[in-house]
Amino acid sequence: MQPASRRSSRDWVVDTVMFLLAAAFGVYMSAERLQTASLPDPAWLFDVDQIAGAAGCAALWLRRRFPVELAVVLVALSTFSEIVAGPMLAALFTVAVHRPPRTSMPVFALSLGGAALYVVIRPEAGMSPLGLFLFGAAIQGAAAGWGLFVHHRRRLVASQRDRAARVETEARLRAEQAQHLAREAIAREMHDVLGHRLSLLSVHAGALEFHPGAHPDDIARAAKVIRESAHQALQDLREVIGVLRAPVGELPQPTIADIKELAAESGRAGMRVDLCEEVTGTVPDGEGRTAYRIVQEALTNARKHAPGAPVRVHLTGMPGRGLTVEVCNAAPDPAAPPGAGSGQGLIGLGERVALVGGRLEHGPAAAGGWRLAAWLPWPA
């Protein structure tokens, strides 16, 4: 039994129409019997038929709450009452609509048995029992079939709604995942861009702190680098933040050709950078961008952990053999204060290289220096 629920306006209209149709059928059958004087034998059965029909019509208001129970009772009454046939058809339709076929089909089969008993109990003059049975079975089959059609149509609509809800949920999850990946990409860009600029600030600010008596020209030069680096860092930050709402592909992306400017910028900041390029062919954008980030991170780490040490950048490669990026720095000056780092830059760098199918190596080099090398695939 389903829990009782408040009827909607549509439910009230449908229930009222069902009741009126069943009542109209009963009135018509009673009037037809009286007009043709074809009352059943014995005569008191006609009075019982009227009472059963009226009770069946009134019971239709319970068809939503007790559909199966009501149908079984009305089928039992239909074995001798012809007026209750109207409410019984409405009950068959209701069971077929609101219950699965494994429930509605047995009830329909039971109604066929009731029709067979009716033919035996109340045969009609001038009509064969088989013809009467087939006529009743056809009408009952039409009611049950219509109900099954409505039942399956409602299930189809419900499944389509569920499918649409699942599709919407999956689309939302994919959008959230894409947004998460975009945020990760933006975070890496901000780390790479700002880490490089801020390391320049740190180096020159540290030099001013540990050499307060330096020549005024050196102090002015360091202050100029600090000012320019701070200004450029703000510009880079504005550029990245300005495209936060744009697709990730529209973020400003460097190429391998920008490594020369990167090395020159570090040289203007006081680093000794030796750049050697032995690259044949045009490097794909993805691999070139990754190579740029590798050199950028290596120069940033060299400024932090080996200030004043010379750095050598070596780029080699050609289509079909891959692109090799190697950055080595000598041992740091013992008098220079080493910088602190969390290692997150190398972790992010390893993820970048892995995304393009490359390999990354880093570790101590000879004579106390540090070596960072990567191999990136370069299709022929």
pLDDT reported for residue 1? 44
Question: 3-class SS at 119?
Answer: helix
Question: From the centroid of its chain, how far is CA 96?
Answer: 36
Q: Among 99-108, 197-206, 338-347, which is the least confidently predicted range?
A: 338-347
Most distant pair of Cα atoms in the chain: their distance: 133
pLDDT confidence of 2, banded at 50, 70, 90?
very low
Contact call for residues 307 and 203 (beta carbons, < 8 A): yes
Instruction: Find the length of the chain.
Output: 380
Closest CA to 104 of 140, 132, 51: 140
Residue 151: CA atoms inside 13 Å, Cβ hemisphere, count?
A: 20
Average pLDDT, the chain: 80
pTM to 2 decimal places: 0.46
pLDDT reported for residue 210? 67
pLDDT reported for residue 5? 58
Q: How far apart are CA 92 and CA 76, in angstroms?
A: 13
